[in-house]
Structure 1
């Protein structure tokens, strides 16, 4: 439902009556179910939220196609340091529960970010990231059998 509400709010201009209405409906469900995804967020087709609850995505984040995000994930802006800014996430990325992705970094295509991983660095395509701090391992089948709603 979150994806439907998000896409519907994105269809209408922010200042129009329908735009205001759908943003209000989206906000209601954000509060009710504990997720924070703004209509300004650029998200590709095939977006999938595995579970409700405690999800925060910065509105300036760019997310590619077929991205799956679990509960407890934070995709945030860094306000200082060498990675000041927001993440850009590629296609076919699976982000596990309670993972944190922060800063002006690029996550490649076909990347699996394990539960509880902390990522504040660029991640090449075809990789798995595990741990805090994150450790990257090359894997050509990183998201095989993990991506739902593939388009």
Structure 2
């Protein structure tokens, strides 16, 4: 894939497998997931521009409430971000997420304030997170990890793993996300 495409174009590529013009991106914003990603990336882009920062933060806040996505411009999310369904998603503003990651509805990625895993998660590349999964604490999720729906993860997960259950268990798996993450960039 060409490196000259913007992060926003790479996010939208994940949905359709097609490179879109700026007008094509705007036309796809009828989808609430893509519309939110569009606004989120604009808020990130203009974080250091005083007037535009305020404008895009206000717009983002409106759509956080409207769509139920609690994702902030401070959150570091790699290109190729994909929201599978809209509604009820919470990500701590200081979380770091790699590229080509998928998230379903009901996911919570949060801070743990005490104990041995106090801190905020770091999530690798090509991670698929199923509906209602909870990821908390100063933990690291490796690359190519599938976190099953309803899993509760508060420990490090090595690369090439499937995480399932509550309490969660790790199952090693080569190509854990194969067939789950489409249109990788």
Equivalent in 113, 122, 125 of residue 91 of structure 1: 125
The residue matched to 2:182 in structure 1 has which SS?
Answer: coil
TM-score normalised by L of structure 1:
0.97
**Structure 1: 5+ residue stretches without partners:** none
Aligned to 1:7: 41
Q: CA RMSD in A?
A: 0.9
**Structure 2: 5+ residue stretches without partners:** 1-34
Offset at 1:16? 1.1
CA distance in 2, matches of 1:149, 1:76: 28
The structure whose residues are more often helix, as a share, is 2
The residue matched to 2:41 in structure 1 has which SS?
Answer: helix
Matched, 1:106 2:140: yes
Q: Give the ranges of 4+ consecutive aligned residues of structure 1 lying more than 4 Å apart after TM superposition.
A: none
Aligned to 2:27: none
Matches of residues 129-140 of structure 1 in structure 2 within 5 Å?
129-140=163-174
Aligned to 1:25: 59
TM-score normalised by L of structure 2:
0.80
Matched, 1:122 2:156: yes
